[in-house]
Amino acid sequence: MSKSPSNPKGTRDFLPSTLSKRNFILDIIRKNFKLFGFLEIQTPALEKNSTLLGKYGNEGDRLVFKILNSGDKIKKANIKALSDNKLSDFSDSISEKGLRYDLTVPLARFVSQHQNELVFPFKRFQIQNVWRADRPQHGRFQEFTQCDADVIGTNSIIQEIELIKLYDSVFSQLGFNDLIFKINHRSILIGLAEYVGAKSKLNEFISIIDKIDKIGLDNVIKEVKKLIIDVSVSKLSNLLGENEISIEKLDNLFKESIDFQKGIEDLKIILDFISVDKSFNNEIKFDITLARGLNYYTGTIIEVISKSNNAVGSLGGGGRYDNLTSIFNLKNTSGVGISFGLDRIYLQMEKQKMFPKNLDNNFDIIVINFGVYYLKKLYPLIDLLRQNGKKVTIYPDKAKINKQFSYADKHKVNYAILMGENEFEKNEIIIKNMTDGTQFNYAIEKVNLDFFKKN
Positions 134 through 193 that interact with its own copies (CB under 8 A): 142-143, 151, 153-154, 156-159, 161-162, 165, 169
User: If you count them, how many residues does the chain have?
Assistant: 455
Strands (E), 94-142: 97-99, 122-131
Number of Cβ atoms within 10 Å of the Cβ of 136? 12
**Does the footprint of its own copies cover residue 426 (CB under 8 A)?**
no
Q: Does 8 bind its own copies (CB under 8 A)?
A: yes
Binding segment for its own copies (CB under 8 A), chosen from 107-115, 206-214, 284-292, 344-352, is 107-115
Asked if 97 is part of the footprint of its own copies (rule: CB under 8 A), the reply reads yes
Site membership for its own copies, residue 453 (CB under 8 A)? no
Per-residue DSSP letter, 65: P
Buried b (16+ CB within 10 A) or exposed e, 261-290: ebbbebbeebeebbeeeeebebebebbbbb
Task: Say if residues 220 and 196 touch (Cβ distance below 8 Å).
Answer: no
Chosen residue from 28, 29, 101, 109 binding its own copies by CB under 8 A? 109
- 312 interacts with its own copies by CB under 8 A: no
* Least spacing, CB of residue 328 vs its own copies, in Å: 5
Q: Give the residue, chosen from 58, 59, 71, 218, that forms a contact with its own copies under the rule CB under 8 A.
A: 71
| Residue closest to 297 by CA, chosen among 267, 341, 337, 326 | 337
Q: Is 367 exposed, middle or buried (0-12, 13-18, 19+ CB in 10 A)?
A: buried
In the list 137, 396, 450, 454, the residue contacting its own copies (rule: CB under 8 A) is 396
Nearer to its own copies, 144 or 253 (CB): 144
Tell me which of 57, 84, 89, 129 binds its own copies, using CB under 8 A: 129
Rounded least distance, CB 15 to its own copies, Å: 6
- Residue 130 contacts residue 103 (beta carbons within 8 Å): yes
Cβ–Cβ under 8 Å, residues 163 and 149 = yes
Q: Tell me how many residues contact its own copies (CB under 8 A).
A: 117
- Which amino acid type is present at position 172? S
DSSP state, 301?
E
Q: Which of 60, 113, 355, 401 is close enough to bind its own copies by CB under 8 A?
A: 113
Q: Which stretch binds its own copies (CB under 8 A): 78-86, 199-207, 250-258, 299-307?
A: 78-86
From residue 42, alpha-carbon distances to 11, 55, 110, 435 in Å are 22, 20, 9, 43
- Give me the least distance between CB of 387 and its own copies, in Å please: 8
Query: Does 279 help bind its own copies (rule: CB under 8 A)?
Result: yes
Distance CA 306, CA 349 (A): 11
Only one of the segments 104-112, 220-228, 249-257, 417-425 lies at the binding site for its own copies (rule: CB under 8 A); that segment is 104-112
Work out the angle at residue 346's Cα, subtended by the Cα atoms of residues 343 and 352, and round it to the nearest 5 degrees: 145
Q: Is residue 51 at the binding interface for its own copies, with CB under 8 A as the rule?
A: yes
**Would you count residue 359 as binding its own copies (CB under 8 A)?**
no
Q: Are 131 and 143 in contact (CB under 8 A)?
A: yes
273 near its own copies (CB under 8 A): yes
Contact flag: residue 372 with its own copies (CB under 8 A): yes
